[in-house]
Amino acid sequence: MNETMPLGREYMERYPEWREALPGNELPWLAERRADAFRRFAERGFPTRKVEAWKYTNLNPLTKKLFAPGAALAATPGALPADALDEKSVHRLLFINGRAAPGATLALPDGVRLMPLSEALETVPDLLAPLLAADAGPEEAGLLEMNTALMTEGAVLLLEPGVQLEKPVHFFFLTTEDAGEAAMHLRNLLVAGKGSEATVFEHYLGTGQTGHWTNVVTEIVLADDAHLHHYKLQNESKAAYHIAATTAKIGERAVYDNFAMSLGAALARNDIQARLDGRGIDCRLNGLHLARGHQHMDTTTVLDHQKPECRSSETYKSVVDDQAETVFQGKVLVRPDSQKTSAHQLNRSLLLSDEASANAKPELRIYADDVQCSHGATISELDEQALFYFRSRGIAADVARRLLTEAFLAEMVEEVKDPTVHAVLHQATTDWLGQTWPKGRRP
């Protein structure tokens, strides 16, 4: 047993009990995959800072208690919080405390299947078998293995070739006080057929102050010429833990556009791995961290260029206040046959406090010679000259700081083209800034 996993024995002892309550138990291929995944997790345990990809993020808080899956009881949908999108503007799949809420989504166009994972395992298991049975991440991703062993629910979106979805699909994961300190192992699956197009909004919202653990894996498969705009907002309880892995396998001439914003959880990590597995692919990864208090937020990306003539770009920004800490690790891999690759990476962090910190580790591994690749990283405070300019014109110091911070964030949020999702992300940044500089506060 791995010495870095203090609770390993307890997880081993409880796993047979937990396994009995998991969906899809009657499927041999899934039972075998679950057992194999849990064996690998038990051998390796939780990733530690000795693992290069986790050197800036300490998971000790997760190892100090036993997070039991399925302990959370699904609440009645009732009145959703103001953050919820209008049901008429989206195709919504609602989950409350890790369970699919009752009630059907709006009528879907032909060629679209949208359902909870538990339902998909009952109705279309043959479609899921080649996807959920495959490794979805790196060798050291122990939490991904735990997710595979214990996944209880999630959102499944299947698009047939040529389908064009006009409304965004809203994966809405709401956590209330009823969740307690449960573990929610969620598995989302998005499969876009050849030439299809959709917008997906992956939304995690906490209305209580529970110290729950969300361990989510989102697997994406884009066929040739497919377009997917994939947005994520993580705004869970400030006492929660949110560990996420997103993997995207992208076909020829496909477009994958990812934007992830984190402003909740005590500890949050987004692992994003995109495999550019065809010519002419356009892949864009962008995101924001808004961290305060003692929050720790980590975004780690891998862009794997496997074929020629592909483009990738990624821009990540952080605004860090109080004693919070953020991490960006971005690896771009250009394989030997990937000539005429264009790959550009930028990370910028803005520190609002002397005690705030940001870590950046950009990395390029290029094994082809006909490429255009660049990366850059900056960590700075607000521009004193710009602040002086505002003050000299009678603008209060806190108002000036807020204006400069808003400008730093605005260009990122403006990249989100869907108006429905844009409105939610814009409001989230406005609310966060309002907590830092309350209206009417003066120096």
Percent of the chain topping pLDDT 90: 66
Confidence of residue 17 (pLDDT cuts 50, 70, 90): confident
- Determine the average pLDDT of the residues in 22-32: 92
d(CA 92, CA 81): 14
pLDDT number for residue 74: 54
pLDDT number for residue 139: 47
Q: Tell me: pLDDT of 107 over 60.
A: yes
Could you tell me which of 153, 154, 286 has the C-alpha nearest to residue 220?
154
Confidence of residue 437 (pLDDT cuts 50, 70, 90): confident
d(CA 350, CA 344): 20
**325-357 tens-digit pLDDT:** 999 999 999 999 899 999 999 999 999 999 999
Confidence of residue 266 (pLDDT cuts 50, 70, 90): very high
- Determine the average pLDDT of the residues in 208-223: 93
Distances (CA, A) of 292 to 222, 269, 296: 36, 15, 9
pLDDT number for residue 7: 52
- Tokens (6 digits) for 323: 């004693």
Q: Which residues contact 20 (CB under 8 A, 6 or more apart)?
A: none
- Indicate the SS3 state at residue 16: helix
pLDDT number for residue 41: 86
d(CA 439, CA 131): 49
pLDDT number for residue 362: 93
Can you state the percent helix, strand and coil of the chain, rounding each to 5? 25, 40, 40
- Determine the average pLDDT of the residues in 66-89: 67
According to DSSP, the β-strands at 155-159 and 112-116 are antiparallel
Q: Tell me: pLDDT of 77 over 80.
A: no
CA-derived radius of gyration, the chain? 21
Q: CB of 208 within 8 A of CB of 238?
A: no
**233-256 tens-digit pLDDT:** 999 999 999 999 999 999 999 999
Confidence of residue 439 (pLDDT cuts 50, 70, 90): low
User: Which one is predicted more confidently, 434 or 103?
Assistant: 434
Alpha helices, H only, 112-233:
117-123, 125-132, 142-150
Question: Token match 């952080």: residue?
Answer: 318
pLDDT number for residue 3: 45
Largest CA-CA distance found in the chain, in angstroms, rounded: 72
d(CA 270, CA 260): 8
* Strand runs labelled E in 65-182: 91-96, 99-100, 112-116, 155-159, 169-175
Alpha helices, H only, 107-252:
117-123, 125-132, 142-150
- Determine the average pLDDT of the residues in 205-222: 93
d(CA 216, CA 185): 6
User: Which one is predicted more confidently, 439 or 319?
Assistant: 319
**388-412 tens-digit pLDDT:** 888 888 888 888 888 999 999 998 9
- Determine the average pLDDT of the residues in 176-190: 91
Confidence of residue 106 (pLDDT cuts 50, 70, 90): low
- Determine the average pLDDT of the residues in 317-324: 97
- Determine the average pLDDT of the residues in 187-192: 97
Q: CB of 288 within 8 A of CB of 315?
A: no
Measured at the CA of 440, the angle between CA 398 and CA 411, to 5 degrees, comes to 50
For residue 15, the one-letter residue type is: Y
- Determine the average pLDDT of the residues in 274-301: 97
Q: CB of 328 within 8 A of CB of 291?
A: no
Measured at the CA of 394, the angle between CA 393 and CA 396, to 5 degrees, comes to 125
Confidence of residue 174 (pLDDT cuts 50, 70, 90): very high
304 alpha-carbon distance from chain centroid = 18
Sheet of strand 341-351, all strands in order from the earlier edge strand to the far edge: 99-100, 91-96, 169-175, 197-206, 227-235, 255-262, 282-291, 311-320, 341-351, 371-381
* Least confident interval from 142-156, 212-226, 241-255, 379-393: 379-393
Own/partner pairs, 370-374, CB within 8 angstroms, 24+ separation: 370/339, 370/340, 371/334, 371/338, 371/339, 371/340, 371/341, 371/342, 371/343, 372/341, 372/342, 372/343, 372/344, 373/332, 373/334, 373/341, 373/342, 373/343, 373/344, 374/343, 374/344, 374/345
